Amino acid sequence: MFEKLKEKKKYYEELEKQLSSPELLADREKYRVKAKEYASLKEMIAVYDQYLKLEKEKKDLGKIIDEEDASSEYFAMAKKESAEVSKAIIAKVEELEELLLAEDNEDYKRNVIMEVRAGTGGVEAGLFAADLYKMYLKYAAGKGWKTSVISLSESELGAIKEVIFSVEGRNVFKFLRFEMGTHRVQRVPETEASGRIHTSAATVAVLPEAQTQEIEIKPQDLKIDTYRASGAGGQHVNVTDSAIRITHLPTGVIVSCQDERSQHKNKAKAMRVLKARVLKKKQEEQKKEISDKRKSQVGSGDRSEKIRTYNFPENRVTDHRINLTVYNLANILEGILDEFIAAIEAEDRKRKLAAVK
């Protein structure tokens, strides 16, 4: 890893010189490419420089420890500082490992389109889907990310049949990619007179949003239908055909949107979801060709896979992929997901690094 970082630092310094050369400045296209490379390496090299500084500091402290008398004040101070620096070095190494892995996965930097759907369990499943949706909104707000509803289908008692929403911000997919799968809830529904615990489920999909240049959607490959929007209790009912259904004929992907009163707005939202789903389908086909790559990941990322259980009577949340259990369910539903996400990230990083060594 460190040899690779040394090479990257050398290349980064070469790029720095090239970007100030008159020859490169005269060629706008080449300058743009080199400037983009330079910018992509900037964070990694900054962290690597911090690591090198800490290593030098540890070495200098080691000399003081070797030279000073064990009973002296300087010896005690150097020992204490050396222990703190060692901890900082471990943290920097983990950060560098993550940056190297992220460099090989451009998806980490993408915005996402999330889909939460009620699964088995009737109304209770819909109420749980609503809980998950609120949980992700709170998590996103805590990260300073922007969320926007694309499509929402509600049922009685505030339950959600399906919600599709976008999340935009820094490294969104990197943090949310492991939320994909089946989430299971165990609790006593408010409508249950006998106090019996019910088990329900909701599925979550996390789709990295496609860039315009990545997915070519040809007009002739689309079948676009318009229809009259409808909603529960007469809400969002239009007297015009503003709802849109788009079918991508080559893949069979179908997307509908009726939340907006404007047909153009519904079409724009539906196209965002369509592109994300087509990109996901394309990526899944590529992954099938490289089956061993999937084995190195924490979970397959399939929505049919049970990833987490939320048990209300025991105030317990268990992530089945890494066998992590915490007893603070209320905090989790408030969007405090960092403990789970950090643990899953660490396990994924460990497996990926083991695979490349």
Return the pLDDT at 290. Answer: 40
Q: What is the CATH number of the domain that holds 95?
A: 1.20.58
pLDDT at 98 over 80: no
Residues 334 and 134: their CA atoms lie apart, in Å, by 8
The tokens describing 330, both together, are 């209320």
Q: Hey, which residues does 227 pair with through a beta bridge?
A: 243
Closest CA to 333 of 124, 135, 110: 135
Per the structure, how many domains does the chain have? Answer: 3
pLDDT greater at residue 299 or residue 345: 345
pLDDT at 9 over 60: yes
Considering the domain boundaries, does residue 39 fall inside one?
A: yes
Q: Could you tell me if 90 and 116 lie in one domain?
A: no
E strand residue ranges, 22-158: 112-118, 146-154
Least confident of 152-161, 210-219, 329-338: 210-219
Least confident of 16-25, 178-187, 301-310: 301-310
Overall average pLDDT of the 299-308 stretch: 66
Residues 244 and 265: their CA atoms lie apart, in Å, by 9
Closest CA to 37 of 52, 21, 16, 22: 16
Considering the domain boundaries, does residue 184 fall inside one?
A: yes
Residue where a domain stops, chosen among 103, 135, 168: 103
| Virtual torsion, Cα 206, 210, 214, 217, nearest 10 deg | 110
Q: Which residues contact 50 (CB under 8 A, 6 or more apart)?
A: 92
What pLDDT digit, counting tens, does each position of 58-77 carry? Answer: 888 888 888 877 787 888 88
Residues 152 and 46: their CA atoms lie apart, in Å, by 43
Closest CA to 150 of 76, 100, 207: 207
Considering the domain boundaries, does residue 241 fall inside one?
A: yes
Considering the domain boundaries, does residue 94 fall inside one?
A: yes
Query: Amino acid identity, residue 234?
Result: G
Considering the domain boundaries, does residue 289 fall inside one?
A: no
Return the pLDDT at 239. Answer: 47
Considering the domain boundaries, does residue 288 fall inside one?
A: no
Residue where a domain stops, chosen among 103, 132, 167: 103
Q: Could you tell me if 236 and 133 lie in one domain?
A: no
Residue where a domain stops, chosen among 250, 278, 306: 278
The tokens describing 196, both together, are 């019996």
CB 260 within 8 A of CB 269: yes
CB 182 within 8 A of CB 119: yes
Return the pLDDT at 137. Answer: 97
Considering the domain boundaries, does residue 272 fall inside one?
A: yes
pLDDT greater at residue 284 or residue 155: 155
Q: Could you tell me if 124 and 202 lie in one domain?
A: yes
Overall average pLDDT of the 164-192 stretch: 89
Q: Could you tell me if 209 and 307 lie in one domain?
A: yes
Return the pLDDT at 294. Answer: 37
Q: Could you tell me if 186 and 258 lie in one domain?
A: no
Confidence band (pLDDT; 50, 70, 90) for 140?
Answer: very high
pLDDT greater at residue 214 or residue 60: 60
Considering the domain boundaries, does residue 283 fall inside one?
A: no
Segment of 92-101, 239-248, 307-316 carrying the highest mean pLDDT: 307-316
Q: Could you tell me if 129 and 65 lie in one domain?
A: no
Q: Could you tell me if 175 and 303 lie in one domain?
A: yes
Overall average pLDDT of the 224-252 stretch: 69
Query: Amino acid identity, residue 115?
Result: E
Percent over 90 (pLDDT), the chain: 26
**Average pLDDT over the chain, rounded to whole?**
82
Return the pLDDT at 304. Answer: 59
Least confident of 120-124, 234-238, 322-326: 234-238
Confidence band (pLDDT; 50, 70, 90) for 193?
Answer: low
Segment of 41-45, 106-110, 236-240 carrying the highest mean pLDDT: 41-45
Q: Could you tell me if 96 and 176 lie in one domain?
A: no
Overall average pLDDT of the 75-82 stretch: 86
Return the pLDDT at 328. Answer: 94
Confidence band (pLDDT; 50, 70, 90) for 194?
Answer: confident
DSSP, residue by residue, 54-81: HHHHHHHHHHHHHHS-TTSHHHHHHHHH
Q: Could you tell me if 98 and 59 lie in one domain?
A: yes
DSSP, residue by residue, 158-213: G-EEEEEEEEESTTHHHHHGGG-EEEEEEE--TT-TT---EEEEEEEEEEEPPPTT
Q: Could you tell me if 118 and 97 lie in one domain?
A: no
- Is the entire prediction scored with pTM above 0.75? no
Q: What is the CATH number of the domain that holds 251?
A: 3.30.160.20
- Give the residue numbers spanning the domain of 263: 219-278
Confidence band (pLDDT; 50, 70, 90) for 288?
Answer: low
Residues 305 and 325: their CA atoms lie apart, in Å, by 18
Return the pLDDT at 303. Answer: 53
Confidence band (pLDDT; 50, 70, 90) for 103?
Answer: low
| Residue 1: C-alpha distances to residues 5, 96, 98, 105, 165 (Å) | 6, 9, 11, 17, 38
Residues 148 and 161: their CA atoms lie apart, in Å, by 18
Q: What is the CATH number of the domain that holds 143?
A: 3.30.70.1660
Q: Could you tell me if 193 and 131 lie in one domain?
A: yes
Q: Could you tell me if 200 and 256 lie in one domain?
A: no
